[in-house]
């Protein structure tokens, strides 16, 4: 995931990622958006479910500050105890309004239950969570 640090360094990052004070697990989302002047804007979504995450490449359709971000998340998992590789695909759709400081909207990921999907509020941060973890070492 350190590879995502240079890839997202020039992007706008919005996040609600946090570490649980009880379990120490990382949860939430980081959304990295290409700068608005790009003709074909791209996004990377990081889904944190206990630990780090690889960026999910998504495409962005923009109408002023209203964004529709969508694509397919191909998740590679290992089934235990058989250690069999399992591939799951999920349709991802994020809709919302972006400002210089926040991204407010809704997210849906096919096959995953997301709590508070209607009230997604991501705040502008300097870098994705994984890069913060590496830069503080």
Look at residue 17 in the predicted model and tell me its pLDDT. 92
Q: What pLDDT is recorded for position 45?
A: 95
| Residue 137: per-residue pLDDT | 38
In the chain, which residues have pLDDT < 50? 1, 116, 136-137
Calculate the average pLDDT of the chain: 86
The H or E element containing residue 122 is strand 120-125
* Range list of H helices, 1-137: 4-8, 129-135
pLDDT at 135: 54
CA distance 107 to 95: 7
pTM comes to 0.85
Q: Where are the domains of the chain?
A: 4-135
């Amino acid at each position: 995931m350190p590879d995502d640090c240079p890839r997202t360094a020039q992007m706008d990052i919005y996040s609600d990622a946090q570490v649980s004070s009880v379990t120490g697990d990382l949860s939430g989302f980081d959304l990295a958006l290409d700068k608005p002047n790009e003709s074909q804007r791209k996004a990377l979504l990081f889904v944190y479910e206990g630990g780090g995450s690889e960026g999910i490449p998504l495409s962005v359709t923009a109408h002023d500050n209203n964004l529709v971000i969508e694509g397919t998340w191909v998740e590679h998992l290992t089934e235990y105890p058989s250690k069999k590789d399992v591939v799951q695909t999920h349709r991802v759709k994020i809709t919302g309004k972006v400002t210089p400081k926040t991204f407010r909207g809704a997210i849906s990921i096919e096959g995953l239950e997301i709590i508070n999907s209607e009230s997604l509020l991501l705040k502008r941060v300097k870098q994705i969570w994984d890069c913060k973890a590496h830069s503080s070492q």
